[in-house]
Amino acid sequence: MGHLNIKNRLIAAPMAGISDLPFRSLCYQFGAGLAFSEMFLANEQIWHTEQSLQKMASKHELGIKAVQIVGSDPDEMAKTAELNVIHGAELIDINMGCPAKKVNKKLAGSALLQYPNLVEQILLNVVQAVNVPVTLKIRTGWDKAHKNCIEIAQIAQRCGIKAITIHGRTRECLFKGLAEYDSIKEVKKNITIPVIANGDITCPEKANEVLKYTNADAIMIGRAAQGKPWIFEDIGFYLENKSLKPEKNIDEVKQIVLQHIKSIHQFYGEKKGLLIARKHVFWYTQNYINSDHFRRLFSAINHATQQIDALEAFFCTITVKS
């Protein structure tokens, strides 16, 4: 991808409120070849805030420092890319796939797919502004009547974009129904830059199937990594050995969860860290018997050390759902 050496075909998706440094670190630890940051807004008025600073590249990043930016003004997007490169970003990804209303109403995210000329200007400005690879993430189109992912991908290639990720849904679909891969397959046939397939890749078998069907160069994992960041390790093992890796035992899972929650506390501080930890604990524990009661109790804990103690106690008593 440009001059960067991506060690494999497994990429962790940029997810708002999730893909922070502690989460990306786990994804890299368990075999992701690349892990994108959550969206960094092209808005100079908020660049000084703690929230924006936490989304920038970090010297503690285990892998490639990849930051995703979002916005609709070509000049602002270029400035945003420059800022992040100055602060250490080694790769810039442009978000034109987010379906959220609050993003789309500002003509950002997947709303841009309706305006190919504006897409082209944004891509040109960003590529010309930085000396690192620039990638693009899109959906198949705004709605089923206006699927234009091939057109957008060809524009991206002409503008110097180094790779394109395609989520196999339109903006209209949000995250409903099943992702389709025919569009991704067609894009791959019509451009020469790397294509990354995204959407509903939830297990090693599905990852293998999507790679074969679309002929994509890589796959991107999003929601399936929530509560299971070792999914990259599982997929990598399957692609290499054509067999499933043995599931992690309870003690192994416990150690991963504790590592993650402690790193959240350290990264955000206790006050914010407590809140961030709750959603991750929900995902980590949802497949265990009697976990509903535990999560209700966990949500009422107001001290970091008590969260760790509660998790220690929980993992000593749980059994896996049949």
Q: Does pLDDT of 319 surpass 70?
A: no
What is the CB-side half-sphere exposure of residue 247 using CA atoms within 13 A? 5
Q: Catalytic: which of 27, 98, 149, 173? A: 98
pLDDT score, position 2: 72
Instruction: Average the pLDDT over 63-76 and give the result.
Output: 97
pLDDT tens-digit map of 25-51: 999 999 999 999 999 999 999 998 999
pLDDT score, position 320: 55
The DSSP annotation for 183-206 comes to HHHHHHHH--S-EEEESS--SHHH
Contact 73, 117 (CB under 8 A): no
Distance CA 109, CA 297 (A): 37
Which residue type is seen at 108?
A
Q: Dihedrals φ, ψ of 106, to 5°?
A: -95, 15
pLDDT-based confidence at 104, cuts 50/70/90?
A: very high
Whole-angstrom CA distances from 234 to 8, 21, 173, 229, 279 are 13, 21, 29, 10, 23
pLDDT score, position 64: 96
* pTM (predicted TM-score): 0.95
- The percent of residues above 70 in pLDDT, for the chain, comes to 99
Contact 225, 260 (CB under 8 A): no
Residues linked to residue 41 through DSSP beta bridges, in sequence order: 70
Q: Does pLDDT of 1 surpass 80?
A: no
Contact 183, 166 (CB under 8 A): yes
Handedness of CA 272, 105, 183, 122 (dihedral sign): negative
Reference 80, options 99, 103, 52; nearest CA is 52
Alpha-carbon torsion, ordered 68, 71, 74, 78, to 10 deg: -40
Whether 159 is a known active-site residue: answer: no
Distance CA 126, CA 113 (A): 17
Reference 56, options 34, 78, 39, 35; nearest CA is 39
pLDDT score, position 189: 98
pLDDT-based confidence at 289, cuts 50/70/90?
A: confident
